[in-house]
């Protein structure tokens, strides 16, 4: 019977199996409704590892952080590429970027490392700082009389500023000597349009990853294609100050791939999504929690003031040229902790690997389990982020959770008296760890520093409740709030 229904029977040496009640879907609905609760209840029943059938796929959830290493370490039995390449092609509609499929010989991983880290980081953050300032201080963001309060949703505000500045940083500005008002307005309209299209497409992203075809979603499909049109090489090549990432990707699309022009453009849409989809909600949560916590606001403002003062910079919105070097940004442990704490509470990315062959997975407690070829092994970091043994009062926001007694970055976290190697994983792990993570943290630090330097701000309702996380995106990264929260801001008088 189990052969006919597709239900798996546990064989000796394998983890306990949950087939769920529904054929094919298995446990998908229970998992989707509240992944953390679901996994915790199964962990209580089965222990460190168990297998769930989710949408036709057998997934082994590994819940012991001391055993994470067995999966994160790149073993010859585990493959991370297939899943990523398939997911990207499915969601963005480009041909496969997996060199083994024959459409390109680009080593994407290398491209990312070369253009987002090391030497490449300084020019990126320099451009971002300029773009953030011009976006934040442009006319639409401020009242005619700058001393008047302006109100907005925190989510809406973060999306507008970070999207525009991030978009211009990666994709450059229109190449045109003409800096007339009309020209600038056209430039602005292009970015606002891109933001609307991005949001429309991003809404259905979970459905695409779950395997639904994009044609079911007419407006999201046209949003994605509109974005792609603006990113055709003929359009990108008219832009100035394009980042190394996009320049190199254009070059490699043109020289190492057989993609057609539309497919090339769609690979750039994938880059836009990767660079924004997590950063935007992460920025929201960081600002939201900080504004709500007077101690966090005070400590952060002091750190920002000290940083600008130590490099003799005057804050002047009429001449907005504040600079933060990479060294300065690396030396802001309070902002660092504020960002980490917000992401601990809001990120929910599933880390997955696929078994290339049958093999034996060794856990930290010396138990070993048989894993079958083509099964998935998954780590779900919220299991550690909300573990009360690792983080005291895990549901409470503590802005200084990641600061040690000397006010520096805290890196010692324990479970059962043992020091943990993995205690904070919003950026994934091992080879699939986000290559943009340094840029991401730096840009959020820049955003906060500029806000704190230029603006006064507070919540419209000081007792506002924390909006719940939108769990429909669980597994895909930083979750969005289910609704926006209003705040007000105005320029400080200097």
Least distance in angstroms from the C-beta of 374 to ligand HEM: 18
Does 435 interact with ligand HEM (rule: CB under 6 A)?
Answer: yes
Does 50 interact with ligand HEM (rule: CB under 6 A)?
Answer: no
Q: Which of positions 442-481 make contact with ligand HEM (CB under 6 A)?
A: 477-478
Contacts of 199 (CB under 8 A, 6+ apart): 159
Radius of gyration of the chain (CA): 23
Q: Which of positions 258-277 make contact with ligand HEM (CB under 6 A)?
A: 274-275
Of residues 92 and 308, the one with the C-beta less far from ligand HEM: 92
Q: Output the CA angle 139-142-146, nearest 5 degrees.
A: 115
Least distance in angstroms from the C-beta of 2 to ligand HEM: 31
- Indicate which single residue of 71, 89, 282, 378 sits in contact with ligand HEM (rule: CB under 6 A): 282
Structure tokens at 254: 């043109």
- Indicate which single residue of 19, 286, 349, 480 sits in contact with ligand HEM (rule: CB under 6 A): 349
Least distance in angstroms from the C-beta of 270 to ligand HEM: 8
Structure tokens at 457: 């701000």
Residue burial 55-77, b: 16+ Cβ < 10 Å; e: rest: bebbbbbbbbbbbbebbbeeeeb
Of residues 281 and 317, the one with the C-beta less far from ligand HEM: 281
Q: How far is CA 483 from CA 85, 305, 479, in A?
A: 32, 32, 12
Least distance in angstroms from the C-beta of 390 to ligand HEM: 19
- Indicate which single residue of 20, 26, 172, 428 sits in contact with ligand HEM (rule: CB under 6 A): 428
**Segment interacting with ligand HEM, rule: CB under 6 A, options 25-33, 56-64, 321-329, 424-432:** 424-432
Does 27 interact with ligand HEM (rule: CB under 6 A)?
Answer: no
- Whether the CB-CB separation of 352 and 61 falls below 8 Å is answered with no
Of residues 231 and 478, the one with the C-beta less far from ligand HEM: 478
Residue count at the site for ligand HEM (CB under 6 A)? 23
Strands 351-355, 78-79: pairing kind: antiparallel
Does 190 interact with ligand HEM (rule: CB under 6 A)?
Answer: no
Three-state secondary-structure class, residue 324: coil
- Whether the CB-CB separation of 187 and 193 falls below 8 Å is answered with no
Does 337 interact with ligand HEM (rule: CB under 6 A)?
Answer: no
Residues found in the chain: 494
Of residues 107 and 310, the one with the C-beta less far from ligand HEM: 107
Does 440 interact with ligand HEM (rule: CB under 6 A)?
Answer: yes
- Indicate which single residue of 10, 82, 109, 305 sits in contact with ligand HEM (rule: CB under 6 A): 109
Of residues 86 and 367, the one with the C-beta less far from ligand HEM: 86
| Angstrom distance (rounded) from CA 442 to CA 125 | 7
Of residues 19 and 286, the one with the C-beta less far from ligand HEM: 286
Q: List, as own/partner pairs, every contact residues 21-29 make where C-beta atoms lie below 8 angstroms and the sequence separation is at least 24, other chains included.
A: 24/55, 24/56, 25/54, 25/55, 25/56, 26/52, 26/53, 26/54, 26/55, 26/56, 27/52, 27/53, 27/54, 28/54, 28/55
- Indicate which single residue of 197, 257, 263, 432 sits in contact with ligand HEM (rule: CB under 6 A): 432
Structure tokens at 396: 């409470």
**For the window 65-84, what string marks contact with ligand HEM as x by the rule CB under 6 A?**
-------------------x
Does 436 interact with ligand HEM (rule: CB under 6 A)?
Answer: yes
| Angstrom distance (rounded) from CA 402 to CA 423 | 11
Catalog residues that contact ligand HEM under the rule CB under 6 A: 84, 109, 112, 116, 274-275, 278-279, 282, 347, 349, 351, 426-428, 432, 434-436, 439-440, 477-478
């Amino acid at each position: 019977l189990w052969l006919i229904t597709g239900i798996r029977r546990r064989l000796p040496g394998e983890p306990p199996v949950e087939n769920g009640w529904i054929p094919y879907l298995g446990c998908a609905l229970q998992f989707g409704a509240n992944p953390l609760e679901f996994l915790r209840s199964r962990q209580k029943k089965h222990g460190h590892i168990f297998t769930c059938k989710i949408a036709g796929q057998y997934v082994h959830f590994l819940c012991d952080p001391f055993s994470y290493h067995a999966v994160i370490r790149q073993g010859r039995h585990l493959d991370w590429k297939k899943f990523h390449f398939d997911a990207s092609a499915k969601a963005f509609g480009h041909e496969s970027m997996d060199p083994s499929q024959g459409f390109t010989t680009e080593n994407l991983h290398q491209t990312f490392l070369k253009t987002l880290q090391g030497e490449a980081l300084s020019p990126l953050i320099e451009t971002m700082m300029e773009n953030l300032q011009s976006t934040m201080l442009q006319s639409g963001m401020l009242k005619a009389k700058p001393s008047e309060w302006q109100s907005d949703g925190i989510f809406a505000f973060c999306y507008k500023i970070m999207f525009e500045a991030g978009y211009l940083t990666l994709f450059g500005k229109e190449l045109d000597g003409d800096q007339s008002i009309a020209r600038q307005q056209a430039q602005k309209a292009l970015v606002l349009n891109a933001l609307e299209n991005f949001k429309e497409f991003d809404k259905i992203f979970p459905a695409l990853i779950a395997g639904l075809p994009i044609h079911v979603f007419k407006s999201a499909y046209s949003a994605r294609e509109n974005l792609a049109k603006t990113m055709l090489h003929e359009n990108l090549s008219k832009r100035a100050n394009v980042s190394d990432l996009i320049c190199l990707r254009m070059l490699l699309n043109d020289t190492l791939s057989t993609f057609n022009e539309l497919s090339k453009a769609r690979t750039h849409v994938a880059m836009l999504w990767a660079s924004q989809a997590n950063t935007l909600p992460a920025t929201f949560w960081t600002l939201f929690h900080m504004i709500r916590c007077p101690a966090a606001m005070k400590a952060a403002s002091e750190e920002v003031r000290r940083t600008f003062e130590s490099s003799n910079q005057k804050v002047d919105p009429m001449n907005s040229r504040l600079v933060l070097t990479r060294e300065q940004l690396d030396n802001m442990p309070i902002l660092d902790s504020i960002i980490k704490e917000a992401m601990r509470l809001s990120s929910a990315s599933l880390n997955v690997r696929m078994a290339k062959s049958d093999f034996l997975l060794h856990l930290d407690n010396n138990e070993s389990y048989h894993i079958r070829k083509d099964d998935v092994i998954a780590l779900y970091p919220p299991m550690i982020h909300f573990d009360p043994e690792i983080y005291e009062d895990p549901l409470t926001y503590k802005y200084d959770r990641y600061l040690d007694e000397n006010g520096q970055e805290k890196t010692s976290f324990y479970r059962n008296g043992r020091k943990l190697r993995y205690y904070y994983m919003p950026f994934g792990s091992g080879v699939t760890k986000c290559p943009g993570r340094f840029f991401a943290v730096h840009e959020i630090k820049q955003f906060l520093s500029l806000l704190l330097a230029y603006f006064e701000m507070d919540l419209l309702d000081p007792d506002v409740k924390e909006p719940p996380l939108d769990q429909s995106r669980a597994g895909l990264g930083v979750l969005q709030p289910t609704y926006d929260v209003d705040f007000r801001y105005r320029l400080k008088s200097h």
